[in-house]
Amino acid sequence: MPQIYFTPNLSRHTECPQSEIAAATVAELLDRYFEKWPDVRGFVLDDQGEVRKHIKVFVDGRNLLDRARLSDPLDGDSEVYVFQALSGG
């Protein structure tokens, strides 16, 4: 089953534990995750359901390709990492 991980900087704002969730796409994985942990949704997705500008999502070591529909496919052993991208200078 795919695994989802959140970096510690997101957990400062809300509880977001690592989970193993059956899903075929990133959208399905996140929907199921948010059912259990609804407070995380607002930190990851904007009001249109797209990945927020300063959030990075990696699927099996690669940048998420579809930040709007979240249609990137997952394998049974996929690893999805969600973290807050830092900016500024």
Q: What are phi and psi of 61, to 5 degrees?
A: 85, 5
Asked, for residue 89, whether it belongs to a domain, the answer is no
Report pLDDT for 89: 57
Q: Which domain holds residue 30?
A: 3-84
Q: Identify the CATH number of the domain in which residue 35 sits.
A: 3.10.20.30
87, pLDDT greater than 80: no
Distance CA 6, CA 84 (A): 9
Number of domains in the chain: 1
Report pLDDT for 76: 95
- Burial level of 8, CB count in 10 A (0-12/13-18/19+)? exposed
Distance CA 69, CA 89 (A): 31
Residues 24-81 pLDDT 10s: 999 999 999 999 999 999 999 999 999 999 999 999 999 999 999 999 999 999 999 9
